[in-house]
Every structure is written in structure tokens, then in C-alpha cells.
Amino acid sequence: MTASPEGSVAPAARGLAAEVSRRRTFAVISHPDAGKSTLTEALALHARKIAEAGAIHGKAGRKSTVSDWMEMEKARGISVSSTALQFNYRAAGSEIDNVINLVDTPGHSDFSEDTYRVLTAVDAAVMLIDAAKGLEPQTLKLFQVCRHRGIPVITVINKWDRPGRAPLELLDEIDERIGLTPTPLFLPVGIAGDFRGLLRRGPDGAAAEYIHFTRTAGGATIAPEESLTPEAAEAREGEPWSTAAEESELLSATGQDHDQELFLAGQTSPVIYASAMLNFGVRQLLETLVALAPAPGSRAGVDGTSRQPAEPFSAVVFKVQAGMDTAHRDRLAFMRIVSGEFERGMVVTHAQTGRPFATKYALTVFGRERATVDTAYPGDVVGLVNATALAPGHTLFVDKKVEFPPIPSFAPEHFAALRAQSAGKYKQFRKAIDQLDSEGVVQVLRNDSRGDASPVLAAVGPMQFEVVTARMQGEFGVETQLDHLAYTIARRTDAESAPELDRQRGVEVFTRSDGAILAVFSDKWRLQYIRKEMPDLTLEPLVAAAD
């Protein structure tokens, strides 16, 4: 990247293959409130990217995490948009810095579509589980996306500093509910709520080391660690250590030791117990990511061929975001580099239009912090400024042509008509709608009867509407009125079927901004009736949020 860490070799001297090998690009998936944003902060803290974790525990004086930049996120303490964080991390005993690309995802299920886009841009995922609640619905949905895409998963059982379930009970649930064999690399010493440290398992499952943690004030700084031999751990901790050691042997007897080939094949998942709030187990997660997570690999194009990292430059846009900083008022298109070396200023080809695209303004982003990037490599996430022609799923390339598969839109389940409260704000209203539509914040539907003054917003979850109205007012100064519509299901149709569908009671036909024609229905029974009475009409399902 622009600046090399002190003591590291200049990127040009390492060559493309070396740059690819030291990169790890991953996302954290979890149910809301499992501690995802807190873990993001803790990882950045351990990489010395920030001096203190942003979450000050307790309601009074709570600060927002660096990855949550929207006012709505800060007020609610949830993530509603994806952000990209990049930092260097040198693993213990290593002489090189690994480049960590962490793409933070929305935690709330209403923003599943945004999370799905992120999962098209990563090579691995960290599945974060609450030690008291176990596997929750949103985690299960996102895991299925990872399985479908062949993304290997590392499991972190979080909040071990609070009362929760037994360690082996949680492992059994993972095995039984999602068919993923958990292979713990570290086991907790002390029951949930009495987190003393971690037992590091050796290759044969035997206890190899005891890592004892010391709490810091509010968990705002890195927790000091002390390494002890198994014998010293036995003498110091007694029964809690003996219990952990016995559990480790039991896991080994049932074949739950790490196997790298099975992990990369998506059959097993390394497990770490942690407390992101106290920064316990966070270094161990970073070390695991560096050691086990795959480096960037090939990506399939729409023609069935694969683009290898060593081939000429190519990238896929997975996220478009504006309003991240009111001082800049710009629009960032986040691209994941798939192959070749990126150099700022290079002219690339936009696969969807065939037109040249200049990359003069390229940034890395850490929350709201920005830095110009001159060079980047496969696995890196780069923000292109004011890239108005780009949308999620678009491909950029040089030399050898490639086009990566588009990112599908989810089937919306909530619909609302939006209009500006003041007719004098119509121009700003149109501009804002086009902006939010291009970012993929919501799907925008139009038809002749409603006109451009009152487009229909289609969303996976109702909180997407809140983001729209908040950003319309905050970024564009437009107060809006939202009228919820009594539709619950959408199907793709065609120009031949549209007129007949539009005549039916409880049905309305729209054109989406990407040109797709959608018919929306009041309920599933209305859809079933029309299918039965008019079987020749085209009604195709869209991608469901749980797929």
C-alpha cells in the first residue's frame, strides 16, 4: 500500500505472488448483539491500528465503534451498513506483515442483502456465536450463504466472560444444527462467566500451553497475556485446568482435531473461545486467520473460465456508499481486487458498458478515515471516488476481458411509497432516490400510474426504510413521507404478462431500476390463485434472503 511498515521490504521487491500470499480477506457474520462490532474494534486494537477500543462499556459515555459511522448506527448501537477496514498484522515469529482486509457487515437481518454482497468479496468468514445463546437465526442464514459460496468458516464463541452454556454443549449444537464439525484450537479455562484463559491444543489434541489473561480497565486496551506450561497451569488453576485438558482429550478421541484440508473444503471449523469486550482471545483469532485462512484465489467469470490472481488486473464492485463523511460529499464504490496489481491512475475497462474508466481517486478506508492508495493487490478492498457509473456486481479489468457474475437482488417483502413533503424539494428528492438506489440501500420500483414523484421502495426488512428517510433528510435536506403498501411478495415477470397481471386485484406491476419487471402481490394466496387461473403468465421467484 502507500506506506510500508517500518522494517518491511518494499512491495515492488516482493512480487505479486508474495503480495497475494500475505493477504487475508474475511468478513464477520453473526446474529445482532453477538458482539461483531466490538470484535472488529478488538482486532484493530491488537493490530495497533487504534490506541483504544471504541466501545466504552456501560451506557454512560458509550462511544461508537470506528466501523459504525452513520448517526443511526451510533444512536442504536447496531451496524446497518458494511464498511471495509484494512490493517497490517505481524504474527508471532514471522518476519513479514500480513495485510488484513476485514469487511464489516450489517448485523441486523433487515440488511441481509448488504451482507450477501460482502460475502461475495471475501475468502473466509468468522462466525461469531454468543456463548449464552448459541446458534441464532441470522447466523444460520449467513452460514448457509458461506456454505453455498464455498467460504471456509472460523468459529469464535464470544462473551465467555459472562454466564453461558457449557463448552462442549455449544460444539455439539454446531455439529448437529449445521453439519459443520467443530475442531477447537483453544478451549476456555474456567466456566462461562469465569474466563481465566485459554488452553492451546497441540496437533494431537493434547494440552500444549496455558495462556492466562489479565483484565484491563473497561477492556479498552490489549489484555496482558502470560504463557504457562501445562504443569504450571495445573498447579496454578487446579480443577478448571484439569477439566479443560480432559475435554481436549475427549475431542481428540472423537476426531475433532484440526485438519487444514477439511477446513478449506468447508467440512470443519476451527474454534476459539473469546471475550471481545475484554480483548481475551483476540490475538489468537488474528494468529489463526494468518495461519489457516486462505490467501486470495481464482474467481469464475460468467463464461465459466477462472481469473487467476497472477493474471492482468481485474476487480469486482461489491458495495457503493455515499454520505460516509459530510465534509467530502462523495460516493465510494468499493471494489475487491481479484487479479493483478492495481496502480492508482490506471485506466481500466468497465465490463458492463465496455467504456474506459480512470482510477485517479482511489482510497483505503478505515471507518471514516481515508488514505490515498497508490498500489493494491488481489484481496485488497479499494474505494473509487465518485464512480457514478459503477454499481454492485460490476466488473473492472485491463487487457484480457473478464466479466464476473452479477450479484443477485433479494426478494423484497416490504413495500412503501415515498414522496417529498415539499414540492420545492423535488429535484433534490430525485437526486437522493437515484443515489440510494445505485448504492443498493433499497430497490426502487416505478410505474406510469405512480410516476417519478412517488416511487415505491422495496426492502428485505423495514429498517431499510428508516435508513432511507434518515439519509434523505440528513444528506439531502429532504423531508419525506412514507406510505406503507399492503404487498408482501414479489415475482419477476415479463412485458407480455405485465398487462394482464396489472388488471388483477391485489397485484401491481413495476419496473425496477435494473430493467427487471416485477409483479407484487398482496399475499401468497393471491399469487397462488393467479398462478392457478392463469398458468401461462410468467411468474419467476427471486433470490430469497435465506438462500
| H-state helical runs in 179-315 | 230-237, 239-253, 260-264, 282-292
Residues 382-415: tens digit of each pLDDT: 999 878 889 889 999 999 999 999 887 778 899 9
Mean pLDDT estimate for the chain: 87
CATH code reported for the domain at 414-533: 3.30.70.3280
Closest by CA to 369, choosing from 317, 315, 328, 316, is 328
Please check if 54 is assigned to a binding site. no
Residue 131 phi, psi dihedral angles, 5° rounding: -65, -25
Q: Is 107 annotated as a binding residue?
A: yes
Tell me the CA distances in angstroms from 318 to 45, 73, 267, 410, one per residue in order: 26, 21, 27, 15
CA–CA distance, 27 with 127 (Å, rounded to integer):
9
The third-level CATH classification (topology) of the domain covering 19-292 is Rossmann fold (3.40.50)
Looking at the DSSP bridge assignments, the partners of residue 512 are 445
- Residue 349 to residues 14, 307, 390, 396, 415, Cα–Cα distance (Å): 27, 16, 11, 6, 36
pLDDT values of the chain reduced to their tens digit, one per residue, 547 residues: 444 444 444 444 458 999 999 999 999 988 888 888 889 889 988 887 666 655 433 333 334 444 444 454 444 444 444 467 888 999 988 888 999 999 877 655 656 677 788 889 999 999 999 999 999 988 888 888 899 889 999 999 999 999 999 999 999 999 999 999 999 999 999 999 999 999 999 988 899 999 999 999 888 899 999 999 999 999 999 999 999 999 999 999 999 999 999 999 999 999 999 999 999 999 999 999 999 999 999 999 999 999 999 999 999 999 887 655 555 556 789 999 999 999 999 999 999 999 999 998 898 776 567 788 899 999 999 999 878 889 889 999 999 999 999 887 778 899 999 999 998 999 999 989 988 888 888 899 999 999 889 999 999 888 889 889 988 988 889 999 999 999 999 999 999 999 999 999 999 999 998 899 999 999 999 999 999 999 999 999 987 554 4
The domain spans of the chain are 19-292, 299-397, 414-533
What's the topology of domain 299-397? Elongation Factor Tu (Ef-tu); domain 3 (2.40.30)
Q: Which three cell numbers stand for residue 215?
A: 483484565
108 marked as binding residue: yes
Q: What does pTM read for this prediction?
A: 0.81
15 is in an annotated binding site: no
Sign of the alpha-carbon dihedral angle for 288, 149, 80, 429: positive
Question: For residue range 494-544, what is the model confidence (pLDDT) as tens digits?
Answer: 999 999 999 999 999 999 988 999 999 999 999 999 999 999 999 999 875
Asked if 108 and 34 touch (Cβ cutoff 8 Å), the reply is no
Rg (the chain; Cα; Å): 25
User: One fold for both 19-292 and 414-533?
Assistant: no
